[in-house]
């Protein structure tokens, strides 16, 4: 399982990886230290399969809507890694993949956006001309 985590983490090394293990999202290594500090959750250790231990911190999967906004508001980029198959249907390692990449700059999740503040999203397409088009979305406060 740690090899699976490391392979997925290598694709987004600058993101805090929330790795789904059963009913929990777990973080490992430096991500665990960061998550523990920002989220106020316990930092512990677990075996990493090589006779050594690695830092770990986690929370129940149903608490994602509570903890994800805290990481984003702290300026962190978050990669959410979910189980892509039911563990009950396989005897091998459960297939996992990154299902969502959430950043402070691009989020449309109502649990992350502050509904008491105005929210803006802009997209610019650069082509042969300086800017070929601009798209602007405005979401007023209390919308």
Strands (E), 24-118: 24-28, 44-47, 53-60, 78-83, 96-102
Shared domain for 70 and 135, answered yes or no, is no
List the strands of the sheet with 44-47, edge to edge.
44-47, 53-60, 24-28, 16-21, 78-83, 96-102
Q: Which of 132, 80, 131 minimizes the C-alpha distance to 107?
A: 80
pLDDT score recorded for residue 129? 63
pLDDT score recorded for residue 142? 56
Backbone angles phi, psi at 10, to 5 degrees: -60, -25
pLDDT score recorded for residue 47? 83
pLDDT score recorded for residue 56? 95
pLDDT score recorded for residue 98? 93
Shared domain for 82 and 95, answered yes or no, is yes
Each residue's pLDDT tens digit, 87-98: 788 888 888 999
pLDDT score recorded for residue 106? 65
Shared domain for 104 and 127, answered yes or no, is no
- All residue ranges of the chain with pLDDT < 50 are none
pLDDT score recorded for residue 86? 84
H helix runs in the chain, sequence order: 2-11, 29-39, 64-73
What would the two tokens of residue 103 be? 């950043």
Contact 108, 138 (CB under 8 A): no
Shared domain for 88 and 130, answered yes or no, is no
Query: Rounded to two decimals, what is the model's pTM?
Result: 0.75
**Domain of residue 26, residue span:** 2-108
């Amino acid at each position: 399982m740690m090899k699976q985590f490391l392979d997925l983490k290598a694709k987004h090394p600058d993101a805090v990886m929330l790795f789904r293990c059963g009913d929990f999202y777990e973080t490992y290594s430096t991500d665990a230290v960061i998550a523990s500090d920002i989220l106020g959750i316990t930092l512990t250790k677990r075996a990493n399969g090589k006779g050594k231990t690695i830092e770990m911190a986690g929370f129940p999967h149903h608490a994602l809507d509570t903890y994800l906004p805290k990481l984003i508001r702290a300026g962190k980029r978050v990669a959410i890694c979910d189980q892509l198959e039911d563990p009950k249907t396989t005897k091998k390692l459960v297939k996992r993949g990154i299902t969502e990449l959430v950043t402070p700059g691009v989020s449309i999740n109502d649990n992350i956006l502050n509904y008491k503040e105005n929210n803006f999203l802009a997209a610019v397409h650069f082509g042969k001309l300086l800017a070929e088009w601009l798209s602007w979305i405005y979401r007023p406060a209390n919308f």
